[in-house]
Amino acid sequence: MDASSSPRNIPKRLLMGPGPSEVDARVYRAMTQPLVGYLDPALLEIMDQIQARLRATFRTRNRITLPLSGTGGAGMEAALVNFIEPGDAVAVIVGGLFASRMCEIVERCGGKLSRIEHPPEKTADLDQVRRVLLGQKLQVLAVVHSETSTGVCQPLEPLRELAQETGALFVVDAVSSLAGLPLEVDAWGVDICYSGSQKCIGCPPGLAPITLGDRAAEVLLRRQKPVSSWYLDLNLIAKYWDTERSYHHTPPISMFYALDEALRLVLEEGLEATWERHRQCHLALVQGMETMGLTMFVEDPAARAWTVNTIRVPHGVDDARIRNHLLERFGIEIGSGIGAMRGRIWRVGLLGRTANPELVLLLLQALESALDENGFSCPRGAAVAAAEKVFQTVNP
Amino acid sequence: MDASSSPRNIPKRLLMGPGPSEVDARVYRAMTQPLVGYLDPALLEIMDQIQARLRATFRTRNRITLPLSGTGGAGMEAALVNFIEPGDAVAVIVGGLFASRMCEIVERCGGKLSRIEHPPEKTADLDQVRRVLLGQKLQVLAVVHSETSTGVCQPLEPLRELAQETGALFVVDAVSSLAGLPLEVDAWGVDICYSGSQKCIGCPPGLAPITLGDRAAEVLLRRQKPVSSWYLDLNLIAKYWDTERSYHHTPPISMFYALDEALRLVLEEGLEATWERHRQCHLALVQGMETMGLTMFVEDPAARAWTVNTIRVPHGVDDARIRNHLLERFGIEIGSGIGAMRGRIWRVGLLGRTANPELVLLLLQALESALDENGFSCPRGAAVAAAEKVFQTVNP
């Protein structure tokens, strides 16, 4: 380590992994606006604007809608520890790593856990979930909307009905779905929903947007014991975001500037147009992958998240060699499998600004060349042509 | 809220409150370097560099030395919840709001708390502390080095001896002291020390540097129960920063770039030169304030933090009017009192890049004018002249 060495040159990557995603130059510029104090009128105005923009993005009128001063994992922890007291019954639907993490957090805060597992390449079996929950009185039913470790998108509305029958608060992880996949917090009756700034919102990592409905806010007020985490205590945090403005901690102000600008970009395009762009890029990518002879990990097209696309590593192909080839030769990052999926799948994130037709075609071209050089041959140029055709069809 | 409104104009303030502090243009520039993935070799190299630079700044060889993905409050929470299990005896020395917050966190994680209070304008009375601790077997003795709510700097070495006698881990809050006041983690036997990025390091808020000695690391490994917080579980976080590189959460990468550059600036100047700059600015500010007829809140000059300078609001002067005058007329932010100190003191932060002779003189000039217009008259120009004289004397 040399204190006086000149600034390091960070390579420019195309971020096509499961996050962080590509960030617009306007967001970077916004991030370097001069810092002000945590009660500066200029900051409070931006905070109000962020709240309004987050409400529009979550499709909610929830008063408590704000970004937590941590990454997506902080959002998950806050969405659970604030609403679970020791001994509370909690059910988590588990098809991948992030849902497993929810279970770990539930156990750490003393919840009585029902873990409802389903195969990682499928959505949950509603009949099975119903059987497990039958007659239970639950505090929380938690589910991951788009499981970033598997690429499965879980339909939320049927689960919300089951949550209602058990009296549970319905907690939804929208880390890789918010602003990429249709999500209607109010219309779908989601009580608590959280996300991360670095996925479809297109902001650098560091903030976790969260929204709470009235039922959740009431549970928070009526807790017997204080929340085990002071840093993520939503009762305290909400008071800084509300008219009280009472100090809790000095927030990551530069990140607020970036988030505000990233949300502005999402809403300028329009939320539904943004969803549609993610859908088109996903369809074109799948078409290209299948034309190349690759197989999607999630068989049922209706169960695929448009945002995190999972592809089986073909038999005989070295997972890491292909990823390194893409990174070193083309500067493209894609994700490896994680947890139980390690070595079995690749994860291509088409999140936020990365959900862009040009990037989809670039990746297909680069992957074709990487596979070809590593002994897996596919018809030259066919994948790109197939993907282009999808773009022409869906958006003529 | 209008999605398409043009970017807001953030006013340029002189940040002379208790944080955030002034940020160098190089740090802003570093922050906008392109994002890369959380396992990108370029990022891992920067992370290693940050660790080395933090070790140099904390004056430690501790292996586990890293920035947590949260603000200073997250550092405080991590420094306590990782080392305290339900029923553990914990003593906290309390002279202000931030030490009180430590107590709140200790209680939330089930620690058996001894709260050792002392008057807010003084350091702790060592005899009193010794009497309370006599014969106790403690898990943790916690203290705030520079209490940001009062401006008192607590000498650490005598307390370390008391910690040793009780077998306690010695936990030090260095939020407003790291890189501003002499602090020697290894030489002074501090077991756990944390800070915030937005004070003397001169980086935007959003990261909490923390360092753990070997004894603390062992306690962590031998816990009976997992840490209540998954997000701040240092066992898990350390594995991402160590050679294992195992995924815990996607960190705030842009903030890492900024922290790396801010630490580079500190070490380029030299840590001791940085401390000395803080000392000189503090002495000049005090001289100016006293020449203006104002009274420092901390009577004993040896008990004053050089970084957070607290001044009594004179009788008959409206605290908020003066602060608003400074902000609106001159674009200067100073801090109000907080908690029990509200309305009684002003807090002038001379933290990091803000510890600058020109800013000290600017503030004195502006405050003189603000006081004058609000009915508190002082000899025109005398404060600035007195402060200038200090700068000439200490640094001829």
Q: Does B156 touch chain A (CB under 8 A)?
A: no
Cα A341 to Cα A149, A294, B47, B295, distances in angstroms = 8, 17, 26, 65
Which range (B8-12, B16-20, B37-41) has the least confidence? B8-12
pLDDT at B8: 64
Task: Give pTM, 2 decimals.
Answer: 0.97
Convert chain B into a string of H (helix), E (strand) and C (coil). Answer: CCCCCCCCCCCCCEECCCCCCCCCHHHHHHHCCCCCCCCCHHHHHHHHHHHHHHHHHHCCCCCEEEEECCCHHHHHHHHHHCCCCCCCEEEEEECCHHHHHHHHHHHHCCCEEEEEECCCCCCCCHHHHHHHHCCCCCCEEEEECEECCCCEECCCHHHHHHHHHHCCEEEEECCCCCCCCCCCCCCCCCCEEECCCCCCCCCCCCCEEEEECHHHHHHHHCCCCCCCCCCCCHHHHHHHHCCCCCCCCCCCHHHHHHHHHHHHHHHHHCHHHHHHHHHHHHHHHHHHHHHCCCCECCCCHHHECCCEEEEECCCCCCHHHHHHHHHHHHCEECEECCHHHCCCEEEEECCHHHCCHHHHHHHHHHHHHHHHHCCCCCCCCHHHHHHHHHHHHHCC
Each residue's pLDDT tens digit, A340-379: 899 999 999 999 999 999 999 999 999 999 999 999 988 8
What pLDDT is stored for residue B183 in this prediction?
98
pLDDT at B4: 45
Residues of B in Cβ contact (< 8 Å) with A256: none
Whether A6 contacts chain B with CB within 8 A: no
**CA nearest neighbour of A18 among A175, A148, A204:** A148
- pLDDT grade for B45, boundaries at 50, 70 and 90: very high
**What number is the average pLDDT over the span B236-243?**
95
Calculate what percentage of chain B has a pLDDT beyond 70: 97
Q: Is the dihedral of CA A14, A173, A81, A102 positive or negative?
A: negative
Q: Which of A8-17, A58-67, B110-119, B225-234 has the lowest mean pLDDT?
A: A8-17
Mutate to test the interface with A, among B12, B51, B85, B250 (most CBs of A within 10 A): B250
Q: What pLDDT digit, counting tens, does each position of A58-73 carry?
A: 999 999 999 999 999 9
pLDDT tens per residue, range A213-260: 999 999 999 999 999 999 999 999 999 999 999 999 999 999 999 999
Question: Has residue B6 got a pLDDT over 70?
Answer: no
Work out the widest C-alpha separation in chain B, in whole angstroms.
66
Per-residue confidence at A339, pLDDT binned at 50, 70, 90? confident
How confident is the prediction for chain B on average, in pLDDT? 95
Read off the pLDDT of each residue in B311-326 and give the average, rounded to a whole number. 96
Give yes or no for residue A5 having a pLDDT over 60: no
Task: Point out the residue among A11, A12, A205 whose CB comes nearest to the CB of B251.
Answer: A205
Q: Of A3, A28, A33, which has the smallest distance from its Cβ to B10's Cβ? A: A33
The residue of A35, A36, A98, A105 whose CB has the most chain B CBs within 10 angstroms, and thus the best one to mutate to test that interface, is A35
Which residue in chain A has the smallest CA separation from B109?
A228
3-state secondary structure of A116: strand
Provide the mean pLDDT of chain A: 95
- List Cβ<8 Å contacts ≥24 apart for B294-298: B296/B151, B297/B121, B297/B150, B297/B151, B297/B341, B297/B344, B297/B345, B298/B121, B298/B122, B298/B150, B298/B151, B298/B152
Query: What pLDDT does residue A286 have?
Result: 98
Estimate to the nearest angstrom the gap between the alpha carbon of A103 and the chain centroid.
18
Share of chain A above pLDDT 70, in %: 97
Q: Do B228 and A230 touch (CB under 8 A)?
A: no
User: pLDDT tens-digit profile of A20-40?
Assistant: 999 999 999 999 999 999 999
Statement: residue A17 has pLDDT above 70: yes
d(CA A94, CA A75): 18
Instruction: Judge whether residue A123 has pLDDT over 60.
Output: yes
pLDDT at A4: 45
Q: Determine, for residues B20 and A227 on separate chains, whether the beta-carbon distance falls below 8 Å.
A: no
> What domains can you pick out in chain A, each with its CATH number?
25-268 (3.40.640.10), 271-394 (3.90.1150.10)
- Point out the residue among A17, A104, A254 whose CB comes nearest to the CB of B37: A17
Mean pLDDT of B58-66: 98
- Contact criterion met (CB < 8 Å) for A198 and B250: yes
